[in-house]
């Protein structure tokens, strides 16, 4: 970049606005669970979120449902994540609770109820919240091995927040990238999974829609209707199925359908284009629903996501990179801090591409090792969530909210343990971490159940 394309800002002193034990950046599933677990285990915690509410893709992007908490036989994501989903159910209507009380997979998200649940859950633990705030810089120690704190920008101005330990729950590894951590992004040609603009439709006749699905006696009716609409030009080329219809009430449904291609969620310009294209696509889809799908004739679009739902950006390089082979072998690790059974779900990168799904058999899951949360080169930073250290195949499985809860809980608990011993993330006693996670509701597999029974 030439000198004419740059400006030099004057040197300024930045006030220190706060100092805490643990700074969590990002208020999605990973960040909420990390903040709660760190505070429960004795740390002072500040949770920074750039929006005015928590919830990440479930509230910001209106992703309509939680992905499965089970391996099709039993819940394997437990602890804080399961606790929060159950609290959301209790905050919803009587009709909602009656329908979903016992359900653990694909539970519809009531975004407004979930926002309040998250507010209450973190504040009950003594977590400090700072909304409408963006992290612009990090300060590293002289040896470059520790993040000393972060520079934040908000309506109050620019200030520095000092933290002994930092959890990057941005989903995009923003803090890790600022700290110089190496990362991968996308596929071999840099291709990224597309984004989706999710939305809420009201005034839908659910009974009429159910009758339409039942007419053919199979589950392919809606798929064929989508294919016909694409052939007739009512819908653009791309995704040929509507995988996400989540009913929140008699006539209110959340929708996850269609793709916006070529959006890099780490670039503001791409997010801007994605928002505009996403809203246009939502309108086109609304017209499709009204014209092609019985029960949706009077559908009304009441809300669309504040931003495009993002599936994939950076993946850090950590002390271990979880692989597709680990997934397929249902491998366990000595430092497991969670289990995962969600299928590998990689969406087409272009409108002409194909989607790839790989499932484990019911009852099977693989371990999620602590080491994938530890970014290379930094000793007081954890990166839980979709940006954890994995190859692209496994990222297509790890990225969903239940897994993010589990990795966030492990990160917050580990930060609290590191604080107690005044040590680094890599000096945490993993066996103590595992025992504490199990004690506080997490599930790490049958062998940990057996160990707990033997020690009790």
81 plus 217 within the same structural domain: no
Asked if residue 247 and residue 166 are part of one domain, the reply reads no
HSE (CB half, 13 Å, CA atoms) of 94? 0
Last residue of a domain, one of 277, 304, 331: 304
Task: For residue range 53-89, list pLDDT tens digits in order.
Answer: 999 999 999 999 999 999 999 999 999 999 999 999 9
Residue 75 carries which DSSP code? B
Residue 437 has what pLDDT? 98
Measured CA to CA in angstroms, residue 191 lies from 70, 257, 259, 312 at distances of 30, 20, 14, 10
The H or E element spanning position 446 is helix 446-455
Distance between CA 283 and CA 304 in Å, rounded?
Answer: 10
pLDDT of residue 225: 92
- Do residues 110 and 167 share a domain? yes
Residue 182, Cβ neighbours under 10 Å: how many?
A: 13
CATH number at residue 446: 3.50.50.60
Do 172 and 100 lie in a common domain?
yes
What is the arithmetic mean of pLDDT over 377-386? 98
Residue 414 included in any domain: yes
Claim to verify: residue 93 and residue 184 sit in the same structural domain: yes
- Report residue 371's pLDDT band, with 50, 70 and 90 as the boundaries: very high
For residue 149, being part of any structural domain is answered with: yes
Mean pLDDT in residue range 380-396: 97
Q: Mean pLDDT over all residues of the chain?
A: 94
Q: Cα 434 to chain center, whole Å?
A: 22
Q: Are 442 and 78 in contact (CB under 8 A)?
A: yes
Residue 373 is assigned to a structural domain of this protein: yes
Tokens found for residue 166: 């930092």
In a domain, 10, yes or no: no
The answer as to whether 9 is a domain residue is no
How many independent structural domains does the chain possess?
2
Q: How far apart are CA 318 and CA 285, in angstroms?
A: 40
Averaged pLDDT, 258-287:
96
Which pLDDT value is given to residue 349? 64
> Is-contact 50 195, C-beta < 8 A?
no
**Which tokens hold the place of 216?**
């053919």
pLDDT of residue 144: 97
Count of residues in the chain: 456
Helix axes 111-124, 79-90, angle to 10 degrees: 120
Per-residue pLDDT band for 190 (boundaries 50, 70, 90) equals confident
Which of 304, 336, 369 lies at the terminal end of a domain, its last residue? 304
Q: From its phi and psi, is residue 410 left (phi > 0), alpha (psi between -120 and 50) or beta? A: alpha
Q: Is residue 5, in this structure, part of any structural domain at all?
A: no
> Does residue 283 carry a pLDDT above 70?
yes
The DSSP code for 56 is G
Flag whether pLDDT at 454 surpasses 60.
no
**Could you report the per-residue pLDDT of 211-253, keeping only the tens digit for each?**
998 887 666 788 889 999 999 999 998 777 786 799 998 899 9
- For residues 260 and 320, state if they share a domain: no
Q: At what angle do helices 446-455 and 430-439 cross, to 10 degrees?
A: 90
Q: Are residues 204 and 100 in the same domain?
A: no
CB within 8 A of 247, min separation 6: which ones?
Answer: 99, 108, 206, 253, 254
Question: In this structure, are 228 and 328 located in the same domain?
Answer: no
The parent domain of residue 445 ranges over 16-188+312-455
Task: Determine the pLDDT at residue 452.
Answer: 57
Asked if residue 11 belongs to a domain, the reply is: no
Among left, alpha and beta (phi > 0; psi -120 to 50; other), residue 56 is left
Domain termination residue (choose one: 278, 304, 330): 304
pLDDT at 451: 64
Regarding whether 334 and 270 lie in a shared domain, the answer is: no
Residue 320 shares a structural domain with residue 448 = yes
Beta bridge partners of 322: 390
- How is residue 155 written in tokens? 């309506």
Is residue 2 in a domain?
no
DSSP 304-368: E-SS-B----EEE-BSS-B-HHHHHTT---TTEEEEE-PPEEE--SSTT---EEE-PPTT--EEE
Mean pLDDT of 372-385: 98
Strands, E, within 155-281: which ranges?
157-168, 183-185, 199-202, 244-247, 253-256
Q: Are residues 205 and 280 in the same domain?
A: yes
Neighbouring-strand partners of residue 185? 314
Q: Which two tokens stand for residue 37?
A: 């677990």
The Cα–Cα gap between 424 and 172 comes to 23
28 and 49 both lie in a single domain: yes
């Amino acid at each position: 970049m030439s000198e004419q394309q740059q400006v030099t800002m004057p040197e300024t002193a930045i006030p220190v606005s706060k100092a805490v034990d643990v700074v969590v950046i990002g208020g999605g599933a990973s960040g909420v669970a990390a903040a709660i677990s760190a505070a429960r285990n004795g740390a002072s915690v500040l949770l920074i979120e750039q929006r005015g509410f928590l919830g990440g893709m479930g509230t910001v992007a209106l992703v309509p449902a939680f992905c499965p908490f089970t391996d099709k036989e039993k819940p394997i994501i437990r602890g804080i994540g399961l606790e929060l989903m159950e609290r959301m159910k209790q905050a919803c209507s009587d009709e909602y609770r009656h329908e979903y009380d016992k359900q653990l997979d694909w539970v519809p998200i009531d975004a407004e109820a979930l926002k309040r649940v998250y507010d209450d859950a973190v504040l009950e633990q003594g977590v400090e919240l700072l909304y409408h705030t963006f992290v612009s810089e990090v300060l590293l120690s002289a040896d470059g091995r520790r993040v000393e704190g972060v520079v934040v920008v908000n309506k109050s101005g620019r200030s520095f927040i000092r933290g002994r330990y930092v959890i990057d729950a941005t989903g995009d590894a923003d803090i890790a990238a600022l700290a110089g951590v190496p990362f991968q992004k996308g596929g071999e040609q840099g291709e990224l999974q597309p984004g989706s603009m999710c939305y809420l439709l009201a005034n839908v006749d659910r009974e009429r829609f159910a009758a339409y699905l039942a007419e053919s006696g199979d589950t392919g009716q809606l798929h064929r209707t989508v294919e016909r609409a694409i052939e007739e030009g009512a819908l653009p080329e791309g995704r040929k199925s509507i995988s996400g219809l989540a009913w929140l009430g008699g006539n209110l449904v959340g929708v996850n359908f269609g793709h916006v291609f070529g959006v890099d969620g780490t670039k503001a310009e791409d997010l801007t284009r994605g928002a505009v294209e996403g809203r246009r696509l939502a309108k086109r889809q609304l017209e499709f629903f009204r014209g092609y799908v019985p029960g949706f004739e009077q559908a009304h679009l009441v809300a669309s996501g504040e931003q495009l739902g993002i599936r994939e950006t950076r993946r850090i390089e950590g002390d271990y990179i979880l692989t597709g082979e680990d997934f397929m072998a249902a491998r366990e690790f000595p430092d497991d801090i969670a289990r995962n059974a969600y299928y590998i779900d990689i969406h087409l990168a272009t409108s002409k591409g194909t989607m790839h799904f790989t499932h484990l058999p019911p009852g099977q899951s693989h371990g999620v090792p602590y080491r994938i949360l530890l970014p290379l080169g930094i000793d007081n930073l954890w990166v839980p969530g979709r940006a954890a250290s994995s190859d692209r195949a496994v990222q297509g499985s790890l990225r969903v909210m239940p897994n993010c809860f589990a990795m966030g809980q492990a990160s917050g608990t580990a930060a609290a343990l590191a604080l107690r011993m005044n040590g680094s993330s890599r000096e945490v006693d993993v066996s103590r971490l595992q025992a504490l996670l199990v004690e506080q509701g997490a599930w790490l597999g049958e062998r940990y159940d057996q160990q707990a029974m033997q020690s009790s």
